[in-house]
Chains A and B, each alone.
Chain A
């Protein structure tokens, strides 16, 4: 059968964010997927250079709407390391509780999205309803549902009182019960299994070679979790397991995420029950001495990197952000190869993509003049376009 090229995106009703997938297909089977990114330049890295570290915390939170806390934590952690600050344990515990609450809401959201991609809307509605429990808890403590503004250089900004502790534990119990039910559904429902088993295969060696991160890597049997490998916040004191699965397909990634939910409940319960007394933050100097640091954390989607270069003032010289989605793009191309067109949405969703968080730069190919156009040329092009239309 002849090869056909199908372009999807960057503007496409099925895509929520701008990305281009060009598919070479034979019938329903994908021969070669070509992913093109770089349609969304938000200028966040440049904006960070013009703001102080304290202001940057709130800017970093706005890199991603789902995992906002982990972004600010990574930035703050880097700044604290540069200042060689000793953070109060209570502050670290509260930070950890928030990191895990965020993981819970991110994974529940993902489970809903994945179910929706395969047309299982009932599971989608159920998980998003239960996600409200954790959203309410986040709002109860921080006052916000999305950007919590909990972090500051030197600790956290808000404390957790006894009543909130009680509600946290109660919420975790409720969620644990619901999640066990979802584990049962996701591993036994026949039509759901048909859509996720053996789909989007990523072998262990390939995942390692392509530097997959997060649940994508763990779903392929790679045991890599920054929380274990290089513990930050309070993860060194809290007992938990790094979940892996040897299934290497979308099912494996689902299992990893759902089991991570159960681990997150354990972590939060332990942290709440063993919350150390004392201060929640330490006063930090505004000016950070000249140095550079690579700060990394385990975001819900995988390893998140912040490279910070300081120059002795209150503003960073350079901040480089690499989100886990970017690290997983090569693996996703590998997963799509040889699959069916109908499986693209679920395979793509299985890495939990966040395109707008990922894109840092717009590519301009000057040699082929492919995407560069000056103002005058654009104007002429517009006039010509409408003349033809008329």
Chain B
């Protein structure tokens, strides 16, 4: 029975199928918001799904010079990494199927893999544009990853646990950590924008400079896989930030005496609302700014984001040291 349940968790909910559906929905929300910010109509709700189906039906091409095995394996790798990362993030009350001490680190690690996969993909497609894109992606990785890791360390220190579920439970019994670490929340959202390579950090695939960059040689189902992986990465990133700063499934309602179904409903609704809020923030950032140059991006990250996250970390350690929490 428990094995069957675990398979169900992995493949249907909240695993594979739910995640794909929700990722496509998130892509729709993002694109629609972006379009409305720009006074455009935007895509219909099934458009991301239709895009994926269309890509799956396309001809399969690999450049002659490229390494066929690598080119095929990399998207799968990225896709698997982000799907796995999602399994450790609790999305309703006390449900953490695969939770253990240290799963926060595993999630952070798995979230770095798509960027590395993109780098390898760009590098192995043996196209000058994708190689320039790959170099930019890897340069950018070092810039945003440092502040991202530093600020996500904060909640773990406060809650005294490396497990995401413990951090969420700490927040539901005390308060949301965004109240204590607003700075950390802001830095985390900006760094996530960099991780997802969106404006103003869409330098690796700058359309007007290097014609799509990284994925310029990718077509058909491999491109579809990459796009799915990036969409899912967005869900995982949003869910992670909502779990660490916005109290995850906590909705200010005491669920002690409620039936499991009601508990699930409330927690799941809180998860949806919070991830959508973060997607709203990400879409606004995308609509508000112009693309930076790679040197400006690195300067920005090390001059502003990293010091801010260190200040945040020092404040947290100070609070902890004084024994206030």
Of residues 103 through 152 on chain A, the ones whose CB sits less than 8 Å from some CB of chain B are 115-123, 125-126, 129
Question: How many A-B contacts if CB must be within 8 Å?
Answer: 70
Scan A258-280; emit 1 where CB is below 8 A from any B CB, else 0.
00000000000000000000000
In the bound complex, residues from chain B placing their C-beta under 8 Å from that of A191 are: 200, 289-292
Write 21 A-B pairs (CB below 8 A) sorted by A numbering.
A6-B128, A13-B211, A14-B210, A115-B290, A118-B290, A118-B291, A119-B202, A119-B208, A120-B289, A121-B38, A125-B38, A126-B38, A189-B289, A190-B289, A191-B291, A192-B289, A192-B290, A340-B295, A342-B209, A345-B208, A345-B209
What is the chain A residue whose CB lies nearest that of B296?
A194
Cβ of B50 under 8 Å from chain A: no
Number of interface residues, chain B, beta carbon within 8 A:
25
Asked if B291 contacts A120 (CB within 8 A), the reply is yes
Contact mask for chain A residues 221-264; partner B; CB cutoff 8 A; 1 contact, 0 none: 00000000000000000000000000000000000000000000
Q: Which of A6, A14, A189 contacts B290 (CB 8 A)?
A: A189
Report yes or no: A195 in contact with B206, Cβ–Cβ below 8 A.
no
- B40 near A125: Cβ-Cβ < 8 Å: yes
Query: Is B287 on the interface with A (CB-CB < 8 A)?
Result: yes
Within the complex, the shortest CB–CB distance from A348 to chain B, in Å, comes to 10
Q: Does A303 contact B (CB under 8 A)?
A: no
By beta carbon, the residue of chain B nearest A192 is B290
Binding site for B on A (CB under 8 A): 6, 13-14, 28, 115-123, 125-126, 129, 189-192, 194-195, 340-345
- Secondary structure of the A contact surface, majority rule: helix
Residues of chain B lying within 8 A (CB to CB) of residue A28:
294-295
Q: Please tell me which one of the listed residues B39, B40, B291, B296 contacts residue A119 in the complex, with CB atoms under 8 A apart.
A: B291
Minimal beta-carbon separation of A198 from chain B (angstroms):
12
CA distance A195 to B287 in the complex (A): 16
In the complex the two chains form, is A194's CB within 8 Å of B293's CB?
yes
Task: Tell me the complex Cα distance, A252–B287, Å.
Answer: 24
* B16 located at the interface, meaning its Cβ lies under 8 Å from any Cβ of chain A in the complex: no
Which chain A residues border B45 with CB–CB below 8 Å? none
Q: Which B residues are in CB contact (< 8 Å) with A190?
A: 289
**How far is B202's CA from A118's CA once the two chains are assembled, in angstroms?**
11
**A122 — which chain B residues lie within 8 A by C-beta?**
37-38, 287-288
Is B20 at the interface (CB under 8 A from chain A)? no
Q: Shortest Cβ distance from A15 into chain B, in angstroms?
A: 10
A342 touches B290 (CB 8 A): no
- Taking CB atoms, residues of chain B closer than 8 Å to A6 are 128
Contacts of A116 in B (CB 8 A): 208
How many Å lie between the Cα of A341 and that of B133 in the bound state? Answer: 13
